[in-house]
């Protein structure tokens, strides 16, 4: 098993056999997590059936934890593939973003700033604990 001593610092919440669940360091909203395969691929078509299965199991597990500790009103879930679609780096990953009624306000529109009401590591700790 890989050394897990830096997992919290690296925002890695859970390791699977072929994929990992992690917090997004630059979240769209509190609780924004991502799931990525360990293999460095950048095309959805390159995922194996086993990777697809585990990735979606991880997303389901993440949703369970977020429901338990954050009680969002809904979610955005998605995949950005390719630079023009907003993929910032060439490693396929899936986003799960909790949403609440009224979570968009004037700050992103007028100041290009997103207000995050909870520290990232506090959110990490809540999600990590919910999965234990």
HSE-up of 29 (CA within 13 Å, CB side)? 19
Phi, psi of 57, deg, nearest 5: -65, -40
Q: Which of 69, 57, 68, 71 is nearest to 20 (CA)?
A: 57
Tally Cβ neighbours within 10 Å of residue 51: 20
What stretch of H or E contains 125? helix 120-130
Catalytic residue among 71, 73, 91, 93: 93
What stretch of H or E contains 41? none
Is residue 93 part of the annotated active site? The answer reads yes
Residues carrying an active site annotation: 93
């Amino acid at each position: 098993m890989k050394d897990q001593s830096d997992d919290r610092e690296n925002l890695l919440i859970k390791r699977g056999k072929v994929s990992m669940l992690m917090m997004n360091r630059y979240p769209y909203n509190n609780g924004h997590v991502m799931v990525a395969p360990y293999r460095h691929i950048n095309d959805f078509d390159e995922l194996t059936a086993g990777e697809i299965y585990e990735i979606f199991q991880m997303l389901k597990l993440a949703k369970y934890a977020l429901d338990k500790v954050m009680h969002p009103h809904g979610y955005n879930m998605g995949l950005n593939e390719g630079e023009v679609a907003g993929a910032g780096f060439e490693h396929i990953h899936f986003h799960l973003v909790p949403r609440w009624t009224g979570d968009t306000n004037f700050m992103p529109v007028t100041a290009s700033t997103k207000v995050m009401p909870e520290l990232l590591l506090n959110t990490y700790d809540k999600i990590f604990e919910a999965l234990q």
